[in-house]
Amino acid sequence: MSLQEDVTEWSCGACGGTLEIVKVGFTYMKGNFEVDLPACNGCGLVLVSEELATGKMADAERILEDK
């Protein structure tokens, strides 16, 4: 199962709130990106999975830096 399918079973480690999928904005090298990620509905803390951080986000970072 993917993280997004399991999001209802997770809770925030900071405040104990429930997680829900929301659009999260990222800015990198003057580029703006929106991604649907789990975030706490209480404090707003966003969960970025290791797979996303070391995979797709790292690939996008390399592409932007090569330009």
Range of the domain at 54: 3-66
pLDDT at 44: 94
CATH of the domain at 18: 3.10.20
CB 8 within 8 A of CB 2: no
**Number of domains comprising the chain:** 1
pLDDT at 48: 87
pLDDT at 5: 57
pLDDT at 1: 37
Asked whether the whole model's pTM tops 0.85, one would answer: no
Q: What are the per-10-residue average pLDDT scores of the chain (67 residues)?
A: 65 94 85 88 91 74 70
